[in-house]
Amino acid sequence: MLYLVLKSLHIVAVIAWMAGMLYLPRLFVYHCDAEPGSKQSETFKVMERRLMRAIINPAMSLAWVLGLSMAWLNDYWMQGWFIAKLVLVLALSGVHGLFSRWRRDFEADRNMRPARFYRIWNEVPTLIMIGIVFIVVMKPF
């Protein structure tokens, strides 16, 4: 029963994390079009900061804690599918770190990247998520 509760909470945390990871770079795309210091730019800064601090960071932390708890309960550590999933989750966490740094750049009006850059990066979490889902569901190794 504990495992099923952890699994359910893990899924909820992952959904929240992914929702934020898909929305934040979209905000960056729109933020690129706002004049630094404008009311619109300042609004994007607030939206981005709140999204990161209230949703993305806590959801990622919960996803990690709950996922590692399930791995510990079921001794997944040496299973090939789990190792592959862990590598992809580390990659997603790295993307999270990049998004966090870029958010701070926007906060300080230091963004030098065009909207197209963020449009491309908007797809990266989706690709990683697809890989994770297929590995977890199919357990190919």
DSSP string of 38-84, one letter each residue = SHHHHHHHHHHHHIIIIIIHHHHHHHHHHHHHHHHHHT-TT-HHHHH
Query: Is 39 labeled as ligand-binding?
Result: no
Q: What's the DSSP call for residue 34? A: S
Binding residue per annotation — 85?
yes
Annotated binding site: 10, 85
Binding residue ranges for heme: 10, 85
